[in-house]
Structure 1
């Protein structure tokens, strides 16, 4: 039986998703927590919930949503922005759909989004980037983009280890580095540290390679993306540890790019994944110039932030860019865009990214027919040019619809498949 929560009702129907240490055990009617979010989260989250529930019902299942809280709503209810109830509910029920959150100014967490990821050890930020026909894009051939970014979620600059200029703490660090380690850091500098560990790196790389092997019909390459030419003992080690995982743990299922050309003359053996690496600055260029050469990108946190947003720009922007944060048998699924508070409550913003974040959740649950129905129905709605204002202003013709109306059209279009 589910535990009782202080200020959160648990649905009377539905069952918990369980985890056996290797895979999720998903019932046909799971209870799934949902954080509405701040700002436009109050617009897009209800729409996404309706769309995902409708898709589940049309494929012989159901979703029982459990409303939990973070951000401004949580502060009103609990007097804190990230209550224990919310974290406990995600731990118990394994998965959650989340709207965008605004981190409060002043004390508390640097970022509520980062706090949730780190507290729950959701170490892989997984962002599929693919084109939906009909979305305006700055690229001539946006359909060439079909990648998945695996971004490490717990280390690098997002560990948030830094000291402000002029503080007693920064002086201690600066003096140690200058006097004991031979650096020359000026007196007016702030100092930050970016840890990148073997253990955190390897578990991210495993998740990326496993995903590639599970989707061999679509993906052949896993590309380690780094700045190891400059940061040799952090990002360079990220690359080296990635190759160690590929060479030591996967046998003939995975080969490196060197092996591919030195021993295979560039011919990829059937059912094999190739691991290679690229410098992050070069990769930003190759996203555009050699889009079809890349499938899955695995990288430290900051690189992943830049690369995933750049890739999202090629398919039309963050309004259609979904995201997820996944650990071992647990995940929180959220759009990559922010809360855009100036549009809150106007029923005008695009709910596509929130809906497609839910689609990633359905895929993670193993509901392949349900997630495909969501994707197909969203794409048909956009192709029909019945779109929200952000897309409408960049296309010829069509009909501008409200956020809620877009969701209803997506549900109607499910009957076409």
Structure 2
């Protein structure tokens, strides 16, 4: 079986060589095709951080094993890591965090075992990177949460939880504040939960989740979250088990999957052969299991756990009274411990059942659309305008443009209502949201909205606008704070 390998930047090449040496010593039945990705590829003029040949190779093989990569700063280019995940729709970021004996933490010293799997939505949310300056003072980021995207990652999380023999799956969210976006994600979670009655499904507000994770992490099993929240919580969980040097990462898609170390490139120690390869090795073991090489994965992981229990460590962790080893020596210690079982957390050796990662050859982009159950109607519009005038003056001008189909119902600033009621103690910026709704809920069309837009543009710079939609009797838009 052939897979694509990108060694990465900084310490990437040396830790990748260490991991591949362990795989080769264990006779893992894989072939590696090295592809060109990373900062040095950006520097050669490829704005997505990979050569066309690398992209073609990865799409033909369906599996990428990659080291840490750096995105050049200040050049206006997107992160190579995010670009790769989004380009190939690796919608589920799975990261396992477990107590490793020999890696001392507050919890290991207290005898509190940790075995948490975080599943993070990997495509949407603020990671769409769609941002605009609406005025010279006001920046906007669009946050997309979609029903099909949410269903994809949540169903994966439930399937994975069942395979893990998990007892509990928890949805972390902020639906108490972001009622529509996080509300949609939470709605999808409980919709999927109905299909898995054997799993205890519950939810928790993400700030409460963070507090509980650092006080009682042993209460959690599988946690699924949106992209940004999942990014933060997964790094928090890494801190519980010793840091990013012990945090594997798998990016799972229907056709292409990526296994990587999520820690940095550590340029200050690059080339010194002292970096810790554990995170990349654990990611590689997840990759082996993904393609059915369960026997190889178990033998190597048992050897890794035995090595850690024996006190062998690189300079970034472990008993400081015992001399540290370099990257190559750490890899060789694992190789020498093949066949040995650790006292804690040993893995059962299950014979290999290799599959193939080769993706389907797609001819067109997949379109994900859910069934629209109720009729959609337009009942108004939010116009985001630039102005440094007071709310009452803005309202007076807006009402001149309302015509016979619209009524001005609300003006807000940074999400807080400032008209028809408000407080002079609310600080303002030079960008308002003026909300028009149809008179007597009369159905509107886009031409009506465009007519209002044109009329309003005589008095204001209109930065953006959003239709106010309803599906059946359900409003598909939020209210302003205080409205």
Tell me the TM-score normalized by structure 2: 0.67
SS of the residue corresponding to residue 337 of structure 2 reads helix
Aligned equivalent of 2:289: 363
Maintained 8 Å contact 1:52/1:358: no
Report which stretch shifted further, 99-108 or 154-163. 99-108
Q: Does 1:146 align with 2:115?
A: yes
SS of the residue corresponding to residue 134 of structure 1 reads coil
Aligned equivalent of 2:452: none
Q: Does 1:323 align with 2:256?
A: no
Maintained 8 Å contact 2:246/2:279: yes
Give the whole-Å Cα distance in 2 for the aligned partners of 1:406 and 1:70: 26
2:331 is matched with which residue: 407, 410, 413? Answer: 407
Aligned equivalent of 1:89: 57
2:183 is matched with which residue: 232, 236, 240? Answer: 236
Q: Does 1:397 align with 2:346?
A: no
Maintained 8 Å contact 2:18/2:331: yes
Change (3 A) 1:142 1:194: farther
2:10 is matched with which residue: 8, 30, 39? Answer: 39
Aligned equivalent of 1:103: 71
Give the whole-Å Cα distance in 2 for the aligned partners of 1:74 and 1:378: 33
Maintained 8 Å contact 2:99/2:114: yes
Change (3 A) 1:304 1:141: farther
Q: Does 1:48 align with 2:19?
A: yes
Maintained 8 Å contact 2:299/2:339: no
Q: Deviations over 1:213-239 (max 9, x none)?
A: 1222xx111111100000000112111
Structure with more helix by fraction: 1
Aligned equivalent of 1:209: 158
Structure 2: which 5+ runs fail to align? 342-483
Maintained 8 Å contact 2:302/2:340: no
Report which stretch shifted further, 95-104 or 72-81. 72-81
- Structure with greater contact order relative to length (CA < 8 Å, sep ≥ 6): 1
Pairing 1:13-412 to 2, within 5 Å after superposition: 30-55=1-26, 57=27, 61-75=28-42, 81-107=49-75, 109-139=77-107, 140-141=109-110, 144-164=113-133, 170-171=134-135, 188-216=137-165, 219-247=166-194, 250=195, 254-255=196-197, 272-392=198-318, 395-412=319-336
Maintained 8 Å contact 1:225/1:283: yes
Structure with more strand by fraction: 2
Give the whole-Å Cα distance in 2 for the aligned partners of 1:71 and 1:210: 33
Q: How many residues matched?
A: 339
Q: CA RMSD in A?
A: 1.7
Maintained 8 Å contact 1:38/1:71: yes
Maintained 8 Å contact 1:131/1:142: no
Give the whole-Å Cα distance in 2 for the aligned partners of 1:159 and 1:142: 41
Tell me the TM-score normalized by structure 1: 0.78
Give the whole-Å Cα distance in 2 for the aligned partners of 1:142 and 1:224: 27
Aligned equivalent of 2:456: none
Maintained 8 Å contact 1:385/1:397: no
Maintained 8 Å contact 1:44/1:354: yes
Maintained 8 Å contact 1:320/1:352: yes
Change (3 A) 1:76 1:405: farther
Give the whole-Å Cα distance in 2 for the aligned partners of 1:44 and 1:141: 31
Maintained 8 Å contact 2:42/2:72: no
